[in-house]
Amino acid sequence: MVARVLIIGGYGNFGSYIARSLANDGSIRLLIGGRSADKANAFSASLEVANAAEGHAIDIDGDLDAALDRIAPDIVIHTTGPFQTQDHHVARACIAQRCHYLDLADAREFVATIDRLDAEAKAKNVLVVSGASSVPCLTAAVIDAYLPSFARLEAVDYGISAAQHTNRGLATTSAVLSYVGKPIQMLRDGVMKTVYGWEDTHVVRYPGLGTRLFGNCDIPDLTLFPERYPTLRSMRFCAGHELKALHIGTRALGALVRLGMIVSLRDHAGPLLKLAFAFDRFGSGQSGFHMFMRGLGHDGNPLERRFWIVARSGHGPYIPCMPAILLARRLAGDKDIQPGAMPCVDLIDLDSYLAALSNLDIEIIRDEIDA
């Protein structure tokens, strides 16, 4: 049986990569969805597919139930952000249609509360997964892989540094700007404390990339991980631009938000995105992810583990797409996946995730330190 896989936002940055990755899978028929039927049809026609692809007009803010009934997907991959301004109505519509649902959401509350749909999903025998992306899928997989080394994991400090030469979309930019200068709750010294988006500026040196600047960001992990890893006393997730000038500029604008002089940078995402593109000649296609884990080893001594991913040739943005690709293939292949609604943890282990990146210009670096 060939599964009908609808990608909402299928001709966008993330959606198009997912589509190309799934195109030659004989168990999948791609359905490219977007607001523009012409763009959806044109992109569908450009794909080299195992089964004929289809283009469909679909608007998540329109009559979604009718659209899903017309398109009749078996699996839906929702890539159209920003998820910070959305509720779970797309997932609910998929459940009603009895089709599996995956999204690439990075919005904290959106992902952390998807389990509220668990009973509905089980009743219709479908899988509903939110955050099938770098956070929390990759981040949890890294911690889980290293957790046996620790008698007690006490702190995680991690972040993502974007390449300047990236096909940045308006939705992704809006998502990041939504919390710049805004209060964020993070676990510090055993309690949740208020920090501010893009503050706590610090430097991380990457193997082969040099130094990058980072500032606080809001992600689902900050809600999910303190319960998932109960020995944690401190967490810090940060993000940053490749170019220090852009990072410092964003930090300065965040200060204006905190002072109340600007309501939200998300309202200015379009002009700020155009301004960022003007700096492309000074940047590269190199991005990175790092995670530093600290705690006590089984010998009772302090222990630190470090993990990096360095992406070159502009391949960094493909990393967040891998969980949706892997899960779609698994669902299309009728693999045994239990129904329900959940954040994307415990579904893909680190080895499987990294193996999916093996055909990209990506380097994995592990540095083990006994402090």
What is the distance between the alpha carbons of residues 247 and 245, in angstroms, rounded to a whole number? 5
Residues 82-106 have a mean pLDDT of 96
The band of 166, judged by pLDDT with boundaries at 50, 70 and 90, is confident
Do the domains spanning 3-133+320-356 and 135-316+361-369 agree at the CATH topology level? no
CA–CA gap between residue 272 and residue 280 (Å, rounded): 13
Q: Which CATH number fits domain 135-316+361-369: 1.10.10.60, 2.40.50.100, 3.30.360.10, 1.20.1730.10?
A: 3.30.360.10
pLDDT digits (tens, 9 = 90+) for 228-238: 999 999 999 99
- C-alpha distances out from residue 47 to 9, 42, 66, 89, 348, Å: 15, 9, 27, 30, 27
pLDDT digits (tens, 9 = 90+) for 202-212: 999 999 899 99
Q: Regarding the domain delimited by 3-133+320-356, which CATH topology (the fold level of the hierarchy) does it fall under? A: Rossmann fold (3.40.50)
Query: What is the rounded distance in angstroms from the CA atom of residue 137 to the CA atom of residue 126?
Result: 19
The mean per-residue pLDDT over the stretch 308-317 comes to 94
Q: Structure tokens of 221?
A: 């992990």
Q: Give the separation between CA 148 and CA 163, rounded to whole angstroms.
A: 32
CA 70/CA 257 separation, integer angstroms: 44
For residue 249, pLDDT beyond 90: yes
**Which three-class secondary structure state does DSSP give residue 56?**
strand
What's the N-to-C CA distance of the chain in angstroms?
54
What is the token pair recorded at 162? 């974007």
pLDDT at 168 over 70: no
- Please give the Cα distance from 304 to 156 (Å, whole number): 10
Nearest-CA neighbor of 80 among 164, 175, 162?
Answer: 175
Which residues are paired to 291 by β-bridges? 158, 307
Omega of the bond prior to 183 within 30 degrees of 0, cis? no
Look up residue 67 and give its two tokens: 């659209």
Tokens 């809001």 appear where?
218
Q: What are phi and psi of 130, to 5 degrees?
A: -110, 145
Task: For residue 46, give both structure tokens.
Answer: 């450009």
Query: Which of the pair, 81 or 182, is modelled with greater confidence?
Result: 182
pLDDT at 371: 46
Residue 278 in this model has a pLDDT that exceeds 80: yes
In the chain, domain spans: 3-133+320-356, 135-316+361-369
Q: Which two tokens stand for residue 199?
A: 């503050």
pTM, full prediction: 0.94
| 368 closest CA partner among 279, 308, 324, 314 | 308
Report how far residue 165's alpha carbon sits from residue 58's, in angstroms, rounded to the nearest whole number: 30
